[in-house]
Amino acid sequence: LAKTTQPISMDSYEGQEVNITCSHNNIATNDYITWYQQFPSQGPRFIIQGYKTKVTNEVASLFIPADRKSSTLSLPRVSLSDTAVYYCLVGDMDSSYKLIFGSGTRLLVRP
Amino acid sequence: GAVVSQHPSRVICKSGTSVKIECRSLDFQATTMFWYRQFPKKSLMLMATSNEGSKATYEQGVEKDKFLINHASLTLSTLTVTSAHPEDSSFYICSATHGNQPQHFGDGTRLSIL
């Protein structure tokens, strides 16, 4: 399983765009990249998933360069409620998609 | 869609008792369910992978006789913490997936052993 590395913490202000980059140098051909958000005392919540290039949904965008050794989660115009821990994970969706969580990025959004 | 329900959300019990936690996929059939535990300010630690109708696969260092997992149907998996002790106090979270879909997580169970 590919190991991921993310910044431990990030600070931002309301209304700003936040980009969280994750390194996964050993990503395998069959691995997908998935990002989750977790609030205290809750289970992680699926944000976005991608394999290559760019993926966008109603809450975030995911940018993946051609070599796939990193990915960037982009949160447009964050609000206070986006304060949470964000996890980047890689896993093979064709083999029960076992996920190993890294330390995550603790995002603090200030007023 | 993709709702996973976990019950109970919180349990407090005496040392030595066994505690069962249920994980249900409400709107899809989960071929695979996972169980994690999480300590305060720490990341999730995978405990075991559970496939419907077969024995769970435990991660290294997780005692299978301590943490009994049953995945009897495509919508229900249970984790039983047997003879629980204070060091078993933690936040337990399940997730479920079907085919090549992303894992969807329950809201966790806060277990406190007195």
Smallest Cβ–Cβ distance between B105 and the set A43, A49, A102 belongs to: A43
Tell me which chain B residues have a C-beta less than 8 angstroms from the C-beta of A44: 44, 93, 95, 105
At A52-77, the pLDDT tens digits run: 999 999 999 999 999 999 999 999 99
Gyration radius from chain B CA atoms: 13
pLDDT value of residue A1: 61
Report residue B65's pLDDT band, with 50, 70 and 90 as the boundaries: very high
The yes-or-no verdict on residue A32 having pLDDT over 70 is yes
Q: pLDDT at position B52, please? A: 82
Residue A101 to residue B46, Cβ atoms within 8 A: yes
3-state DSSP assignment of residue A62: strand
**Cβ–Cβ of B44/A96 closer than 8 Å?**
no
Is a pLDDT exceeding 70 seen at residue A17? yes
- B90 Cβ under 8 Å from any chain A Cβ: no
CB neighbours (10 Å) of residue B62?
A: 17
Using the CB atoms, write b or e for B11-26: b if 16+ within 10 Å: beeeeeeebebbbbbe
Using a CB-CB cut-off of 8 Å, the residues of chain B touching A104 are 43
Residue B1 pLDDT > 90, yes or no? no
Q: What is the mean pLDDT of chain B?
A: 93
The predicted structure's pLDDT at residue B72: 82
- B51, B103, B108: residue with CB nearest A41: B108
Query: What's the pLDDT at A95?
Result: 57
